């Protein structure tokens, strides 16, 4: 099946007026996004996520490289009809109601009056704003504005949605609602390209995840493959500072407090660590397998500059 997105060697730099230097925002990025999936585009602030999305939307142009969406060059009118975008901080006119904003976007897409009313009400209902659709936006919370943003991004029934940091600044309940909505959109067969620097929400819903830093792709894999492989937690007591020095050589990720040790270690190194602790007069309290989180992998990858 045709990829939803195909990016080849995409590169974009900006000139920084203050330092008079060029910043490479996106650096020879090559990436495929299969259709019908939730694709996580992760990276710390400044990694180049928004710049990439803007090039995919045809809002800015690359210095070099290509991007195709459903087989057509990014930015073409035909493509624009099939996609939509929730910007990082959506801006709406505060004096309008949720209904009026949606009606405005419906007009932009030339949806006839009767069908428009139906679609606007349906979408606002879907994002949980049914009861508040006639309130002015200035009385909406950040979470409610984000829902209007999502409803607006759905007005043209897109096949591919770009959501740039969709949950940033939202409270945990709003996170869950947005997550449920994202899952529902996947069930309808849509492709979602979601950028985030927060890992917990993305971790729960993405099928495939990529990690970007300094404009370069560090990793891309299915979420299940990224999370595969456990680490082990070893806890021990009676660990002196001197013994702890030895522990750190075997298990660099370890902490000690009042003689109590907590160490994270690869399963194959557990024997070595346990032997060392026993020989040095410490006592092992617990050895527990721990599932790695996406956060662990993110930190490992970004710190290690891991290329794969």
Ligand X SMILES: Nc1ncnc2c1ncn2[C@@H]1O[C@H](COP(=O)(O)OP(=O)(O)O)[C@@H](O)[C@H]1O
Strand partners, 38: 192
**Total residues contacting ligand X (rule CB under 6 A)?**
12
Among 50, 156, 159, 191, binds Mg ion (CB under 5 A): 50
Nearer to ligand X, 50 or 159 (CB): 50
247 near ligand X (CB under 6 A): no
**Window 51-70: contact mask with ligand X (x via CB under 6 A):** x-------------------
CB of 61 to Mg ion, least distance (A): 18
The answer to whether 50 contacts ligand X (rule: CB under 6 A) is: yes
With binding defined as CB under 6 A, does residue 49 bind ligand X? Answer: yes
- Whether the CB-CB separation of 67 and 7 falls below 8 Å is answered with yes
Q: How far is the CB of 60 from ligand X (least distance, A)?
A: 8
Determine the Cα–Cα distance for residues 168 and 50; give it in Å rounded to an integer.
14
Rounded Cα–Cα distance for residues 194 and 40 (Å):
5
Spacing of C-alpha 279 from chain mean position? 45
Pick what 25 binds: ligand X, Mg ion, none; C-beta below 5 to 8 Å, kind-dependent: ligand X
Q: What is the CA radius of gyration of the chain?
A: 24
DSSP string spanning 190-255? -EEEEEES--HHHHHH-SEEEEEETTEEEEEEEHHHHH-SEEEEEEEE---HHHHHHHHHH-SSEE
Residues 6+ apart with CB under 8 A from 65: 7, 8, 9, 10, 11, 28, 29
Stretch that binds ligand X, among 42-50, 147-155, 250-258, 281-289 (CB under 6 A): 42-50
Q: Which of ligand X, Mg ion, none does 43 bind, CB closer than 5 to 8 A by kind?
A: ligand X
Closest CA to 247 of 268, 266, 267, 274: 274
Q: How far is the CB of 53 from Mg ion (least distance, A)?
A: 8
Contact (CB, 8 A) for 6 and 45? no
Binding part of the chain for ligand X, among 2-10, 48-56, 152-160, 272-280 by CB under 6 A, reads 48-56
Binding range to ligand X, per CB under 6 A, among 44-52, 75-83, 155-163, 244-252 = 44-52
How near is the Cβ of 14 to ligand X at its closest, in Å? 3
Task: Find the binder of ligand X among 46, 65, 75, 143 (CB under 6 A).
Answer: 46
Q: Which is nearer to ligand X, 45 or 110 (CB)?
A: 45
Instruction: Say which residues have a Cβ less than 8 Å from residue 298's Cβ, sequence separation at least 6.
Output: 42, 199, 211
Interacting residue ranges for ligand X, rule: CB under 6 A:
14, 16, 23, 25, 43, 45-51
């Amino acid at each position: 099946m045709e990829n939803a997105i195909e990016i080849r060697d995409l590169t974009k730099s900006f000139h920084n007026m203050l330092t008079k230097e060029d910043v490479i925002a996106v650096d020879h990025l090559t990436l495929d996004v299969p259709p019908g999936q939730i694709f996580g585009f992760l990276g710390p602030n400044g990694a180049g996520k928004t710049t990439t999305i803007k090039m995919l939307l045809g809002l800015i142009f690359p210095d070099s490289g290509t991007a195709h969406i459903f087989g057509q060059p990014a930015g073409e009118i035909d493509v624009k009809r099939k996609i939509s975008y929730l910007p990082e901080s959506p801006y709406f006119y505060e004096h309008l109601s949720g209904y009026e904003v949606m009606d405005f976007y419906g007009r932009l897409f030339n949806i006839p009056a009767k069908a428009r009313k139906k679609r606007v009400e349906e979408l606002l209902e879907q994002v949980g704003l049914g009861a508040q659709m006639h309130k002015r936006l200035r009385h909406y919370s950040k979470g409610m504005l984000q829902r209007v943003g999502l409803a607006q991004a759905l007005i043209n029934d897109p096949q591919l949605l770009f959501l740039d940091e969709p949950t940033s600044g939202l409270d945990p309940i709003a996170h869950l609602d947005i997550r449920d909505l994202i899952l529902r959109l996947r069930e309808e067969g849509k492709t979602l390209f979601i950028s985030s620097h927060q890992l917990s929400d993305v971790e729960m819903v993405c099928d495939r995840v990529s990690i970007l830093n300094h404009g370069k792709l560090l990793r891309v894999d299915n979420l299940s493959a990224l999370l595969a492989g456990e680490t082990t937690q070893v806890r021990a007591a009676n660990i002196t500072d001197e013994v702890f020095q030895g522990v750190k050589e075997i298990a660099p990720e370890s902490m000690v407090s009042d003689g109590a040790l907590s160490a994270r270690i690869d399963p194959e190194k557990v024997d070595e660590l346990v032997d060392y602790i026993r020989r040095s007069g410490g006592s092992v309290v617990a050895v527990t397998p721990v599932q790695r989180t996406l956060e662990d992998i993110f930190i490992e990858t970004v710190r290690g500059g891991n290329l794969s």
